[in-house]
Each structure stands twice: as C-alpha cells, then as structure tokens.
Amino acid sequence: MLGLAVPSAGAQDATRGKAVYEACIVCHELDPKSTGQGPTLIGVIGRRSGALDDFRYSRAIVRANIVWDESTLDAYLADPQSYIVGMRMPFGGIPDKAERADLIAYLKTLR
C-alpha cells in the first residue's frame, strides 16, 4: 500500500493561491514598476497600507496605517469594505478561509 502525502488541515498552498490570485490580476499586476487600477502586490507582505509613492491611494487606506501581514490580510480579504471603511477598491472579499490562506501563501512568494 502506498502512503500518500496529504496536506494537513489549514495548510497554506501557494500553488492554489496563485489560482485564487487570477481574480486579483485584473487590477493588481505582477510588475513592481506597474500600477494598474490597483497597486502592485509584489512585496505587499510587510508593507504599510498606502505606502507606494507611485500609486494614488484612497484617504481611507492611507489613514488605516496597516502593516500587511497574514493576520491583517486575512481580515481584509474576508470583508474589505468593512475592514477599511471608505476605501475605493470594488471587491467583495473572499469568504472561504482556505482560499484566503492559499492566496496569502502566494502573496508571500512575491518579492
């Protein structure tokens, strides 16, 4: 009998996260010098909200003064409009916790 490696419950999968990111790429390009509708998410982990000089953020996201880490991104991605009231990003969130975890795992690979 073969033993199959099965990811543990709650394990983050950056490969699955890359697939989740496909919905984000419409506005958030993967070019550190490009600003589309949204700022690049290259290096977002550890960055302060509203910190890129070459992107015009909403006042709400600048005032939020959040450092993006696993915890803040998880809360934000679950319900962006409630997490930062008054921001401009038209995104309803990702209700599935596993998908958020996978997306965050992928974002951690973007440097």
C-alpha distances (whole Å) from 39 to each of 9, 65, 68 are: 32, 16, 14
Check residue 35 and give its pLDDT: 67
pTM of the model: 0.86
> How many helices (DSSP H) and strands (DSSP E) are in the chain?
5, 0
Check residue 62 and give its pLDDT: 96
* CA–CA dist 27, 42 (Å, integer): 13
* Ranges of the chain whose pLDDT falls below 50: 1-9
Check residue 51 and give its pLDDT: 95
Check residue 13 and give its pLDDT: 96
Q: Which of 36, 63, 35 is nearest to 49 (CA)?
A: 63
